[in-house]
Amino acid sequence: MSLLEVRNLRKSFGGVSAVADLSFELNSGEMLALIGPNGAGKSTCFDLLSGQLRADAGRVLLEGRDIATLPPQSIWQLGVARTFQVPAIFSSMTVRENVQMALISRHRAVWRFSRPASALFRGEADTLLAEVEMARQAERAVGVLAYGDLKRVELAIALAGSPRLLLMDEPTAGMAADARGALIGLARRLVRERGLAVLFTEHDMEVVFGAADRVLVLDRGALIAAGDPAAVRENQRVRDIYLGVE
Amino acid sequence: MDFLAVQFLTGLASASSLFLVAAGLTVIFGVTRVVNFAHGSLFMLGAYIGWSILTRLPREPGWFALGVLGAAGATALLGVMLEAIVLRRVYRAPELFQLLATFGVVLMVQDATLAVWGPNDLSLARPAWLRASVAIAGQRFPAYDLFLIGIGPLVLLALWLLLHRTRWGVLVRAATQDREMTAALGVDQRLLFSAVFALGAGLAGFGGALSLPDQSANLQMDLSAVVEAFVIVVIGGLGSLPGAYLASLLIGLLQAFGIVFVPRATLVLVFVAMAAVLLIRPNGLLGRPLAPGQITQEIRPVIRAAPTTLKWLGLACLVLAIVAPFFAGPFLLSVLTECTIAILFAASLHVMMGPGGMPSFGHAAWFGLGAYAAALAVERGGASTMVALLAAVLVPGIFAIVFGWFVVRLAGVYLAMLTLAFAQVVWAIAFQWDALTGGDNGILGLWPGGWLRSAPAFYWLTLAICVGGALVLRRAMMAPFGYALRATRDSTRRAQAIGLDPRSLRAAAFALAGAAAGLAGGVFAFAKGSVFPGYAGIGRSVDALVMVLLGGVDTMAGPIVGALAYTGLYDVLLLATSQWRFILGLAIILLVMAFPEGIAGATRRFWLRGREA
Amino acid sequence: MNLTRRVLLTGTAALAAPAIVRAQGTRPIRIGEINSYTAIPSFTLPYRNGWKLAVEQVNAAGGVLGRPLEVISRDDAGKPQDAVRLAGELLDEQKVDLLAGGFLSNVGLAVSDFALQRKKLFVASEPLADALVWEKGNRYCYRLRPSTYMQAAMLVEEAAKLPAKKWVSVAPNYEYGQSAVKWFKQLLSAKRPDVRFVAEQWPALGKIDAGATVAALARAEPEAILNITFGPDLTNFVRQGNTRGLFEKRAVVSMLTGEPEYLEPLGDETPEGWIVTGYPWAQVDTPANQEFVSAYQEKFKTHPMMGSVVGFAMIRAIAAGVAKSGNTDTEHMADGFAGAVFDTPFGRAAFRAIDHQSTLGTFIGKTVLKDGRGVMADWHYDDGGKFLPPDAEVRKMRPAAG
């Protein structure tokens, strides 16, 4: 059984179809890229998988359990973490506190009043920050960080949930080329070491074809191609409507 | 049947009057996002200026129209002054901070109006044509009401044309949709805002002057007008003119027919209607939800542990407060008691407004519920002071968690107005339900008994409860719960994506804040020996808002500083001068300009100067 | 920060020498006065003029017990909780001998309760609530003005003479309006078992929806109307009523409407023939009133209002009470004020021993239009002492005071 199985997922906004009859599978230890031109429905797809939006029809099975109707917080508890296209972080907290917040939730310590939040799971937070190379900025307010650093913090937040499935929406947008490589390298390492499943969207085709095990191509909400990078790269339809545009 | 037809027309006429006041408010809010608490003052000024002009003009219809337009123009000018002198300096301040400045204006205008026009109600003598009536369904119906029925839709149409058929209107609408975009297009935002204020204020003045044939210009009309206007604007949907007209119709007709069917409950009816509309349509009748991009992601300063110096300072103040009864006279002690209670009251609102991100215009609801719970426990249940104080925590706490559960899905001003609706219902019950609450005469004789009889003993109890309560709140805000609450405020999406449940967090914050405010109310009841409907009144809610905003929303010390500053200032000024409203208003405006992040916020900035926040 | 310094000084003085006894001699008699100056200026500003005039006159005549009167005045901002704090300030910092004042009933009751707690005398001037001397009456509280009950009783006396049987009422929906309607109904029904009340309207105070209210009253087709609304609500109600013809061929009985504060804003729209309580200041030709009016006009360049009389009479009443008590010891005054007789512009009045209510009355008359203004006509003075329930009933209603 696959870790994630998406069957006939649909979502439309006011009659305009954003995701149409989408089906795919994703296994543990696999890195899957979701590509397509702007407005293809990638972010909507992410929102459907993580519970931010509710599908009109279709099923999202996580290890066989349908999570399509669950609220985001329940989906997170089942081991699905995500990052957003525009980083969503807690702007009134420091870098470390952002990660601590996620750890507090992960360890179900939200309703614990015995100790201040800033004293909880400090070490664990620092380990995660070290992993995304943000340890030195742990004390800084996230409001003053560079864009690329925000993405890293968001990744650390996502990882704090010890996810089995990680959804990354444009994880390297706004980063310099070498930093992109490092971040994707990190993601690959996690996939390898932890058996994590990663679904990510990405504009940089170098990154996509270098890192992904498989690639899904979306256009106007519909899946038009799927397969290993080499096959997708050769797909004529993909070339026509997507790669040609790039 | 005939009667209902006439009542329907009467409802239409009052709908028009309501719309005229609300239209200006919704236009101003739509573009500038300023919650203009002084809108009622502009309405009042319109009426007074209108009286001054119209009593000097011939009494023919043409002159009347000219006089009303003159009053509208003069009020528009005052609106522009208000915008240019006061508000322009605080646009960049956090949400709702402008409300504080406009509240200062309300106070100043009250005293200024009294000084200029004197204490008596001024009524405009009606010439025959204003007294005329027409026969409708066998009854006499005022011709002027017919005129009003027409003027509402006419003004709506004129505004629609102005906004849709002129270049200026297009800019205004663009600014309503997306402020940053308009700025990027090279539109002079300052000019635009001034013009919008002129329009909004002019409409208020127009409405005020047009009310003269029906009512006198009087010194109470500012507050009743602004509350009504807020209700209309919120029911209609913020920034929506057609929505405001629909809402005016709804409320006008509701009142006209409410009088027939539930004559005693008209006050409650309006607020129940508002609550019902908002629960079904969280953005009002025709309001649109803000697109994600429009919700400006405010970068809030990081809340860090207090610096050691501040901790020592706080401790020193506390020690001073504890030994106060040994050197302070009874009056100073009573002022200190009030300040202490204000600290807990403000701290409880801060939980909602600060970390909770839920502004409340009706926080006095919980304060009043706590006070009445304590009072009724003593009066009806013969409870001891301590048991009564327990009731003062539990009753509002339970109400708050139930109410909170339903309303926390609303956001911003809508949520704030729903809390106001609840507070007004609490107030109306206290004010009108004589058998239970003693009505306006309140419940008396609640002096604490036994060892608490001595003023110092009661003061120490107050200090222990209120400072203790504030520390508990602080602790909760530093605990995971407070962080999770703040996380939910900073980014609801992110909070949900890490497994936090915004609804229960916010409802819990509601309950915590409600219980704490209730406790403050309970202590206040014993400090004063009595409870009155005013404890749940709008004035009390505004007090709490002023304290929190004045101190600074984004610091933990803010509400404490704000409570001490405002309560102290008020108590001293009330004693020192008969023009206390003018001076207090001026002081608030000056503080707002000097410290746009609140007093504590500005102090922190000064403290952190040269360092990274 | 004069305040704190003074507070500190008195504080230390009290610690250092608690037993200092001040010579009574010519030390002024200090009256701590509290009223809603900023909240209800239309009443309280004339009221302040009134007490100022009286203080001046009393002191010019040598004061009371050889001591001058001194009034220390405070603004309660219309809030009972502030009134209580200021009452404490007056007692503890200003060392006043007694408290006085009040317009709003809740302020009056709050200060009265505070006075009881502190065992200090409080002379309530304007608050009308019956509870002030009855249900919540206490040893230390005296009240000057005729209460809601008394005014209702005076109006009932006239209303009972009307042929009307079918009545409606309109009153602001709060304690004052509710108890005025209650007493009026009760007393009128006792005198006239044949009357019926067929409809009632309860507009929210300050928020009357006048057109709808008038139409709803008219629908009941009453023969007579009882009105309790006042101030801006009244103006609004009268205008809609005039235009819609509500008052035509109907008797209207209206509380307080004859008081200049409420009558003047009605201007040339004052409906004629309403039976009202009030103060026809220009017409009352008793020497007491003439003297008062001319002194007032000379000093303030304007004519007196009802508030002016209340402020003036309050000082007269206090002066008489203190004189009768012989000193300013609270317990002596609490006993001594009972039965104290004082002269007011309305005539002579006294504080009753049984419930501490003064017998000050008010004028009853009919409204007429004169030179485009509403005035009272066919008026007479009703002595308040004649419009109170029998003593046995009063005792029953005054359980707390003992």
What CA–CA distance (Å, rounded) separates B238 from B247?
A: 11
Taking the Cβ of residue B85 and every Cβ of chain C, the question of whether any pair is shorter than 8 Å is answered with no
- Please name the fold of domain B2-291: ABC transporter involved in vitamin B12 uptake, BtuC (1.10.3470)
The residue of chain B with its CA nearest to that of A92 is B302
- Does the domain made of A1-79+163-246 have the CATH classification 2.30.30.40? no
End-to-end Cα, chain C, rounded Å = 44
- Chain C nearest-CA distance from B544, in A, is 16
Of residues B609 and C318, which shows the higher confidence score?
A: C318
- Chain C nearest-CA distance from B3, in A, is 7
Instruction: Give the burial string for C198-215 (b: 16+ CB within 10 Å, else e).
Output: bbbbbbbbbbbbbbbbbb
Which of B38-47, B120-129, B282-291 has the largest mean confidence?
A: B38-47
Q: Is the pLDDT score of C12 beyond 60? A: no
Residue B427: the pLDDT is 92
Sorting pLDDT into bands at 50, 70 and 90, what band is B184? low
pLDDT in tens, A185-203: 888 888 888 889 999 998 8
Residue B139: the pLDDT is 86
Sorting pLDDT into bands at 50, 70 and 90, what band is C1? very low
What CA–CA distance (Å, rounded) separates C302 from C298?
A: 8
Sorting pLDDT into bands at 50, 70 and 90, what band is C17? very low
Sorting pLDDT into bands at 50, 70 and 90, what band is B597? confident
- 3-state helix vs strand vs coil in chain A, percent to 5: 40, 25, 35
- Closest to B472 (Cα-Cα) out of B526, B505, B510, B512: B512
pLDDT in tens, C190-203: 999 999 999 999 99
Of residues A219 and C45, which shows the higher confidence score?
A: C45
Compute the average pLDDT of residues A96-120: 93
pLDDT in tens, C206-242: 889 999 999 999 999 999 999 999 999 999 999 999 9
Q: Is the pLDDT score of C285 beyond 90? A: yes
Q: What distance lies between CA B61 and its chain's CA centroid?
A: 37
pLDDT in tens, C377-393: 999 999 999 999 999 99
pLDDT in tens, B354-375: 999 898 999 999 999 999 999 9
pLDDT in tens, A199-223: 999 888 888 888 889 999 888 888 8
Q: Which residues of B touch A157 (CB under 8 A)?
A: 494, 498
* Residue B443, helix vs strand vs coil: strand
Sorting pLDDT into bands at 50, 70 and 90, what band is C107? very high
Sorting pLDDT into bands at 50, 70 and 90, what band is C248? very high
DSSP letter string, C329-363: -HHHHHHHTTT-EEEETTEEEEB-TTT-BB---EE
Interface touch B442/C202, C-beta < 8 Å = no
Q: Is the pLDDT score of B599 beyond 90? A: no
* Residue C219, helix vs strand vs coil: helix
Residue B149: the pLDDT is 95
Taking the Cβ of residue B180 and every Cβ of chain A, the question of whether any pair is shorter than 8 Å is answered with no
Residues 6+ apart with CB under 8 A from A38: none
Q: Is the pLDDT score of A179 beyond 90? A: no
Q: Is the pLDDT score of B613 beyond 60? A: no
Residue B557: the pLDDT is 86
Q: Is the pLDDT score of B294 beyond 50? A: no
Do C and A make contact via 3 or more CB pairs under 8 A? The reply is no
Map out the domains of chain A as residue ranges.
1-79+163-246, 89-158
- Closest to C277 (Cα-Cα) out of C306, C317, C308: C306
Residue C11: the pLDDT is 38
Residue C305: the pLDDT is 95
Residue B152: the pLDDT is 95
What CA–CA distance (Å, rounded) separates B376 from B238?
A: 39
- Chain B nearest-CA distance from C203, in A, is 7
Q: Flag the least confident range among B248-257, B295-304, C306-315.
A: B295-304
Q: What's the mean per-residue pLDDT of chain B?
A: 89
- Identify the DSSP state of A60: E
Which amino acid, one-letter code, is at A179?
A
Taking the Cβ of residue B481 and every Cβ of chain A, the question of whether any pair is shorter than 8 Å is answered with yes
Beta-carbon neighbour count of residue C196 at 10 Å?
Answer: 13
Are C42 and C126 a contacting pair, CB within 8 Å? no
Taking the Cβ of residue B442 and every Cβ of chain C, the question of whether any pair is shorter than 8 Å is answered with yes
Q: Is the pLDDT score of C5 beyond 50? A: no
Residue B238: the pLDDT is 86
What CA–CA distance (Å, rounded) separates B466 from B340?
A: 6
Interface touch B260/C216, C-beta < 8 Å = yes
In chain B, CATH 1.10.3470 sits at 2-291, 315-607
In chain C, CATH 3.40.50.2300 sits at 2-12+26-147+286-360, 149-283+362-387
Q: What's the mean per-residue pLDDT of chain C?
A: 91
pLDDT in tens, B63-93: 999 999 999 999 999 999 999 998 888 877 7
- Closest to B493 (Cα-Cα) out of A83, A165, A108, A79: A83
Q: Is the pLDDT score of B57 beyond 80? A: yes
Taking the Cβ of residue C113 and every Cβ of chain B, the question of whether any pair is shorter than 8 Å is answered with yes
Residue A236: the pLDDT is 82
The residue of chain B with its CA nearest to that of C178 is B434
Which of A46, A92, A105, A139 to probe by mutation at the B interface, max B CB count within 10 Å?
Answer: A92
CATH code of C2-12+26-147+286-360, in short, is 3.40.50.2300
What CA–CA distance (Å, rounded) separates C329 from A67?
A: 81
Take residue B374 and report the two structure tokens written for it.
């304590």
Q: Which residues of C touch B260 (CB under 8 A)?
A: 212, 216, 219
Interface touch B491/A93, C-beta < 8 Å = no
Do C and B make contact via 3 or more CB pairs under 8 A? The reply is yes
Which of A78, A83, A85, A105 to probe by mutation at the B interface, max B CB count within 10 Å?
Answer: A105
User: What are the C-alpha distances in Å from B298 to residues B93, B495, C149?
Assistant: 10, 16, 59
Region for residue B349 given its phi and psi (left: phi exceeds 0; alpha: psi -120 to 50; beta: otherwise)? alpha
What CA–CA distance (Å, rounded) separates A31 from A165?
A: 10
Q: Which residues of B touch A99 (CB under 8 A)?
A: none
Take residue C348 and report the two structure tokens written for it.
């002579």
Q: Is the pLDDT score of B251 beyond 50? A: yes
Q: Is the pLDDT score of B239 beyond 60? A: yes
Residue B292: the pLDDT is 43
Take residue B318 and report the two structure tokens written for it.
């506390």
Are B24 and B198 a contacting pair, CB within 8 Å? no
- Please name the fold of domain B315-607: ABC transporter involved in vitamin B12 uptake, BtuC (1.10.3470)
pLDDT in tens, C62-72: 999 999 999 99
Q: Which residues of A touch B500 (CB under 8 A)?
A: 73, 105, 110
Q: Which residues of C touch B264 (CB under 8 A)?
A: 173, 202
- Chain C nearest-CA distance from B135, in A, is 10
Sorting pLDDT into bands at 50, 70 and 90, what band is B21? very high
Sorting pLDDT into bands at 50, 70 and 90, what band is C244? very high
Identify the chains in contact with B, defined as 3+ C-beta pairs within 8 A: A, C
Of residues B484 and B175, which shows the higher confidence score?
A: B484
Compute the average pLDDT of residues A136-150: 89
CATH code of C149-283+362-387, in short, is 3.40.50.2300
Compute the average pLDDT of residues C369-379: 94
Q: Is the pLDDT score of A227 beyond 50? A: yes
Taking the Cβ of residue B55 and every Cβ of chain C, the question of whether any pair is shorter than 8 Å is answered with no
Q: Is the pLDDT score of B608 beyond 80? A: no
Percent of chain A with pLDDT over 70: 97
pLDDT in tens, B399-451: 999 999 888 888 778 888 889 889 999 999 998 888 888 888 899 989 888 88
Q: Is the pLDDT score of C168 beyond 80? A: yes
Compute the average pLDDT of residues A123-149: 91
pLDDT in tens, B534-551: 999 989 999 999 999 888
Selected residues 418-437 of chain B with any CB under 8 Å from a CB in chain C: 428, 431-432, 434
